[in-house]
Structure 1
Amino acid sequence: MNNRDGELGNVPLRSDRFFAAQGEWFFSTREGTSIGPFDDKPEAAQGLEDFVEFMSLAQPKTLSKLYAALAS
């Protein structure tokens, strides 16, 4: 396995972020939270893209509140 663009050092363990449970799809965040349900894997993939976009655009105060909510 190779490093991704911009990564240095040992290649981290990677796993699929998507999983199905009871016929519904979810994705897991780096923070260890499961988000869903979605009707199918493509919808979950879109949800993940939306989540990443939100995380990249959110203000630090909003992110702080989100991290606190995900941890509880």
Structure 2
Amino acid sequence: MSRTVNRAGEIGSSLPMRSDRFFAAQGEWFFSTREGAPIGPFGDKEDARKGLDDFIEFMSLAEPKTLSRLYAALTD
């Protein structure tokens, strides 16, 4: 039996469409934010994965004013 695992805060069985956040361009690796902004370059996919982990940690610890400024920069 296949079982779907929800992320924290998700309720029910109807999950949003997800795609791989990592991509390579011209021999370098990037990840994309939820806003669609590319972050990188990184030397390889594992470094990009670590960069994403750092980005998520930063987002979870940042003050609201800092987050507001970052969101504005990512969507410009």
- TM-score by length of structure 2 reads 0.87
Structure 2 matches for 1:21-60, cutoff 5 A? Answer: 21-60=25-64
The list of structure 1 runs, each at least 4 consecutive aligned residues, that deviate by more than 2 angstroms after superposition, is: none
1:12 corresponds to which residue? 16
- Please say if residues 3 and 11 of structure 1, whose CA atoms lie closer than 8 Å, have aligned partners that are also in contact: no
Larger radius of gyration: 2
Secondary structure, in 3 states, of the residue corresponding to 1:15?
coil
Give the residue type in structure 2 aligned to 1:11: L
Q: Distance in 2 between matches of 1:38 and 1:4?
A: 29
CA RMSD of aligned residues (A): 1.3
Q: Percent identity?
A: 68
Structure 1 residues not aligned, in runs of 5+: none
- Please report how far the alpha carbon of residue 8 of structure 1 lies from its aligned counterpart in structure 2 after TM superposition: 1.2
Q: Distance in 2 between matches of 1:43 and 1:69?
A: 23
1:2 corresponds to which residue? 4
Secondary structure, in 3 states, of the residue corresponding to 2:30?
strand
- Please report how far the alpha carbon of residue 41 of structure 1 lies from its aligned counterpart in structure 2 after TM superposition: 0.2
Structure 2 residues not aligned, in runs of 5+: none
